[in-house]
């Protein structure tokens, strides 16, 4: 009886049912996600007292001003450059792999490809990073391969370059970049592959029938149609690189990236306002990034 | 009558309140509560799971009925954060965390009368400033150790480095190669104190009295030294196991380190040794401290008493490569430690060790004009970033 009355009520007022169904996820989103985000934002408008090191609960923009101190600006620029480099490289490496997986791999090969792409995601992130540390070490596998190929001079020449170089790959920005690239690559391949699979073969045939060379087809048919997938993938690689604080700690020059700065300021220094201000930076960068991505049609397929 | 009664009740209530807030110190031990939860450094509290020979928990649980729950923390700051969160009874806090927790009322004073073995504690540690404030004890000493200079014996031959200059100044090492790219430094702001300690010997006119109490000028000099060091260091070490790996695979020649890494490297047959250079060393001293709102204070007191048992101290000092708070543990044969082992861990160098303490602005030696810890953090980040 009660059920019947309830179902009558929901039938007469469909909006009520909708509201009831939406309430839990909305509450979750509102309280847990947005709530913590606003708590973070609020923290960033406080400041730390110069003498006692205690947080002063008065609204101020002083903490944001501190972001523009040279050493902090370095951290931001460094992180954005790294994220951009990783994203571009991931797109370049992922495209042929995704193209092959989407167009040519058939039957068991398709499964092998999926497995090959997904497998790294199954093992622990830390295990992967530590094993890369060994691969890149001065006396590691990569160094050994270069020595066997009599190419040590090439490696040394690269490591002698300012900025990207260092004493060995594992303590250089090149090393950090390679590990980032490896760890986030699946997040680029999968959306690109999905986008490529949606490109109808008839269009490629039409393009060929109209006399386009393969290169032309790639440039003016496949790439534009795959672009939303690339942009979607780049959102993952870009944001994941920006927020990561473990890889640059294990592989690289020890110079901080944003994630590490947040971790250290809130934990070690008790400087929660500055940590919060730092945490707002990726949010802003991603907001800009997502706006651009939307313009490029990354979400059209959603 | 009613009036007087109310007054009396009010006074009693007020007295009770003051008693609760001011002196939360326990006066007598009751029955164990059946559990105790401890925040500890990794490897500090072993129940035989890593190595069956090292177990100082099972016996305690059987004897007291207090089940031990361990939460490990990797940095002092994690420890402070966990204790601020609450829900734990004890913490093995280093000196750079202990005073912060005392100041924040996260830990309560300890009644040493309730710990029968208190008298066996090394006299040098009994009233140590990192757990004693205004004569009140806030914990029971656990372990301490120096931050030694670890070096590769293939690089240095049989000539141990005598000064920290091998990691601070550009120079050629005994094997004829420059030290650039072959030395490491600790990836924590507290490393600024190591630079200050070096300057105490090499630039005495700066007037540094304690490496943890630096005025602006002394602090700037320390940062300058660290900027020079940045040009030599290819990676700062953060995780003990990463440093071990770097000495195996990256051709590292020298670095500040802990006896823990030295012992593990030696166990793996890596040609290294460690030394305490002429400038002295910084070090850590850990204290078992009781949470201000501990749920299991009786079990916690029993654990603190248990930690001082010389056989636990002896085995732990072997396991962790550290020095026990109870001197007898080195010599009485109650565990695996021997007098030679303690000497190797730096037991006799206590006076040459400047123990980690949190730098605060209100310091004694520089008339209250010291650079506080949160600036150490941001400036050290700058130095590592090449600023």
Q: Which residues pair with B35 in a beta bridge?
A: B67
Which domains does chain B show, CATH number per domain?
29-145+284-354 (3.40.190.10), 147-281+357-384 (3.40.190.10)
Which domains does chain A show, CATH number per domain?
83-199+229-295 (1.10.3720.10)
H or E segment at A206?
A: helix A201-209
Q: How far apart are CA B281 and CA B246, in angstroms?
A: 22
Q: How far apart are CA B190 and CA B211, in angstroms?
A: 10
pLDDT number for residue A6: 82
Measured between beta carbons, which residues in chain B are less than 8 angstroms from residue A271? Answer: 374, 377-378
Give me the phi and psi of A18, to 5 degrees please. Answer: -60, -45
> Do residues B279 and B198 make contact, with C-beta atoms less than 8 angstroms apart?
yes
Percentage of the residues of chain A whose pLDDT score is greater than 70? 95
Measured between beta carbons, which residues in chain A are less than 8 angstroms from residue B356? Answer: none
pLDDT number for residue B165: 95
pLDDT band at A8 (very low <50, low <70, confident <90, very high): confident
Average pLDDT of span A25-53: 81
Q: What is the pLDDT of residues B204-216, one digit of tens each?
A: 999 999 999 999 9
By C-alpha distance, which of B166, B163, B221 is closest to B192?
A: B221
Shortest CA distance from B376: residue in chain A: A269
Nearest to B181 among A167, A250, A268 (CB): A167
pLDDT number for residue B238: 81
> Distance of CA B360 to CAs B135, B148, B197, Å?
20, 25, 17
How close, in Å, is residue B286 to chain A by CA atoms? 18
pLDDT number for residue B3: 44
The helix/strand/coil state of A51 is: coil
pLDDT number for residue B24: 56
Strands B281-291 and B67-72: unpaired
Q: How far apart are CA B285 and CA B125, in angstroms?
A: 9
pLDDT for A300 beyond 90? no
Average pLDDT of span A253-263: 90
Tokens at B334, concatenated: 């109650």
Reduce the secondary structure of B266-333 to three states and give it as a string: HHCCCCEEEECCCCCEEEEEEEEEEECCCCCHHHHHHHHHHHCCHHHHHHHHHHHCCEECECHHHHCC
Low-confidence residues of chain B: pLDDT under 70: 1-24
Q: What is the pLDDT of residues B174-204, one digit of tens each?
A: 999 999 989 999 988 889 999 999 999 999 9
Judge: A74–B187 Cβ closer than 8 Å, yes or no.
no
pLDDT number for residue A298: 67
pLDDT number for residue A53: 58
The residues, any chain, with a CB within 8 Å of residue B305's CB and separated by 6 or more, are B114, B115, B116, B117
Nearest to A268 among B77, B236, B372 (CB): B77
Judge: A70–B387 Cβ closer than 8 Å, yes or no.
yes
H or E segment at B91?
A: strand B90-93
The helix/strand/coil state of B56 is: coil
pLDDT band at A52 (very low <50, low <70, confident <90, very high): low
SS3 content of chain B, % helix, strand, coil (to 5): 45, 20, 40
> Do residues A227 and A91 make contact, with C-beta atoms less than 8 angstroms apart?
no
DSSP string, A58-86: S--SHHHHHTTSHHHHHHHHHHHHHHHHH
The residues, any chain, with a CB within 8 Å of residue A57's CB and separated by 6 or more, are A46
pLDDT band at A302 (very low <50, low <70, confident <90, very high): low
Handedness of CA B57, B61, B63, B64 (dihedral sign): positive
> Distance of CA A275 to CAs A34, A52, A138, A232, Å?
18, 18, 34, 28
pLDDT number for residue A179: 95
pLDDT number for residue B258: 86
Q: What is the pLDDT of residues B216-245, one digit of tens each?
A: 999 999 999 999 999 999 889 988 888 999
pLDDT for A223 beyond 50? yes
> In this complex, is the C-beta atom of A268 within 8 Å of any C-beta atom belonging to chain B?
yes
pLDDT number for residue B86: 83
Number of A/B CB contacts below 8 angstroms equals 99
pLDDT number for residue B279: 93
> Is the pTM for the entire model greater than 0.90?
no
């Amino acid at each position: 009886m009660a059920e019947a009355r309830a179902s009558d009520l929901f039938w007469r007022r469909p909006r009520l049912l909708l509201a009831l169904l939406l309430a839990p996820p909305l509450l979750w989103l509102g309280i847990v996600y947005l709530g913590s985000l606003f708590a973070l934002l609020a923290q960033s408008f406080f400041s730390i007292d110069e003498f006692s090191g205690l947080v002063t609960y008065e609204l101020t923009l002083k903490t944001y001003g501190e972001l523009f101190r040279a050493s902090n600006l370095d951290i931001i620029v460094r992180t954005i450059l790294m994220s951009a480099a990783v994203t571009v490289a991931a797109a370049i490496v992922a495209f042929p792999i995704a193209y092959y997986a989407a167009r040519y791999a058939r039957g068991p090969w398709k499964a092998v490809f999926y497995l090959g792409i997904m497998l790294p995601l199954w093992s622990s992130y830390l295990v992967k990073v530590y094993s890369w540390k060994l691969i890149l070490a001065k006396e590691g596998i990569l160094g050994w391969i270069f020595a066997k190929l009599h190419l040590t001079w090439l490696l040394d020449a690269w490591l002698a370059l300012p900025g990207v170089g260092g004493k060995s790959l594992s303590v250089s920005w090149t090393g950090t970049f390679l590990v980032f690239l490896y760890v986030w690559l699946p997040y680029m391949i999968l959306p690109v592959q999905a986008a490529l699979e949606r490109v109808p073969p008839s269009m490629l045939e039409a393009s060929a029938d109209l006399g386009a060379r393969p290169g032309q087809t790639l440039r003016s048919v496949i790439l534009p149609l795959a672009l939303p997938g690339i942009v979607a993938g780049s959102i993952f690689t870009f944001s994941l690189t920006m927020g990561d604080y473990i890889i640059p700690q294990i592989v690289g020059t020890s110079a901080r990236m944003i994630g590490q700065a947040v971790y250290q300021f809130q934990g070690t220094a008790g400087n929660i306002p500055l940590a919060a201000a730092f945490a707002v930076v990726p949010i802003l960068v991603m907001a800009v990034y997502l706006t651009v991505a939307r313009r490029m049609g990354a979400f059209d397929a959603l | 009558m009613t009036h007087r009664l109310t007054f009396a009740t009010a006074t009693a209530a007020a007295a009770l309140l003051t008693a609760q807030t001011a002196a939360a110190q326990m006066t007598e031990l009751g029955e164990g509560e059946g559990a105790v939860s401890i925040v500890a450094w990794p490897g500090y509290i072993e129940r035989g799971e890593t190595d069956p020979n090292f177990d100082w928990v099972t016996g305690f649980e059987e004897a007291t009925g207090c089940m031990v729950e361990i939460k490990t923390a990797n940095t002092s700051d994690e420890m402070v954060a966990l204790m601020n969160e609450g829900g734990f009874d004890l913490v093995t806090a280093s000196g750079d965390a202990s005073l912060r927790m005392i100041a924040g009322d996260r830990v309560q004073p300890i009644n040493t009368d309730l710990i029968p073995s208190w008298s066996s504690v090394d006299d040098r540690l009994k009233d140590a400033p990192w757990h004693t404030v205004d004569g009140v004890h806030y914990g029971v000493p656990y372990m301490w150790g120096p931050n030694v200079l670890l070096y590769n014996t293939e690089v240095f031959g049989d000539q141990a480095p005598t000064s920290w200059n091998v990691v601070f100044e550009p120079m050629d090492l005994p094997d004829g190669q420059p030290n650039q790219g072959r030395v490491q430094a600790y990836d924590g702001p507290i490393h600024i104190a190591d630079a200050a300690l070096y300057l105490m010997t090499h630039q005495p006119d700066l007037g540094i009295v304690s490496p943890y109490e630096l005025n602006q000028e002394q602090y700037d000099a320390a940062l300058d030294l660290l900027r020079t060091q940045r040009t030599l260091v290819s990676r700062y070490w953060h995780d003990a196991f990463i440093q071990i790996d770097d000495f195996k695979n990256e051709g590292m020649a020298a670095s500040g380190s802990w006896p823990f890494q030295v012992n593990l490297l030696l166990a793996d047959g890596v040609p290294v040794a460690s030394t305490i250079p002429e400038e002295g060393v910084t070090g850590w001293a850990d204290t078992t401290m009781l949470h201000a709102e501990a749920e299991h204070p009786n079990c916690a007191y029993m654990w603190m008493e248990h930690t001082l048992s010389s056989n636990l101290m002896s085995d732990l000092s072997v396991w962790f490569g550290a020095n026990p708070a109870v001197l007898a543990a080195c010599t009485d044969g109650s565990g695996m430690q021997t007098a030679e082992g303690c000497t190797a861990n730096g037991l006799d160098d206590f006076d040459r060790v400047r123990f980690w303490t949190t730098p605060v602005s209100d310091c004694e030696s520089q008339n209250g004009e010291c650079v506080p810890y949160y600036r150490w953090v941001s400036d050290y980040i700058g130095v590592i970033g090449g600023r």
